[in-house]
Amino acid sequence: MIGTGGRRLCPGTAGNALVITLPRVRLSSFGAPTGGPSQDVEQSFDFQAEGDPATNAIIQFDYLGA
């Protein structure tokens, strides 16, 4: 399964942030969510980042200054 990667916003001090993007990933395995009613859902999976033909990148870091 190949899909677009997620983004993670890592807030810093003074309103700065770092956005980490994996533009293309391959999911190799994933387990069933655990938990029950009124509990957080946790999902585990294995993935491999692949080169994105549009950006020619495997991982992208964007610094957002305040």
Tell me the one-letter amino acid at 55: T
The span from the CA of 52 to the CA of 4, in Å, is 9
Q: Which residues of the chain have pLDDT under 70?
A: 1-13
pLDDT of residue 43: 77
The span from the CA of 9 to the CA of 18, in Å, is 6
* Strand partners of residue 62: 19
Q: Is the pTM here over 0.95, yes or no?
A: no
pLDDT of residue 1: 39
The span from the CA of 18 to the CA of 66, in Å, is 11
Three-state SS at 57: strand
pLDDT of residue 58: 92
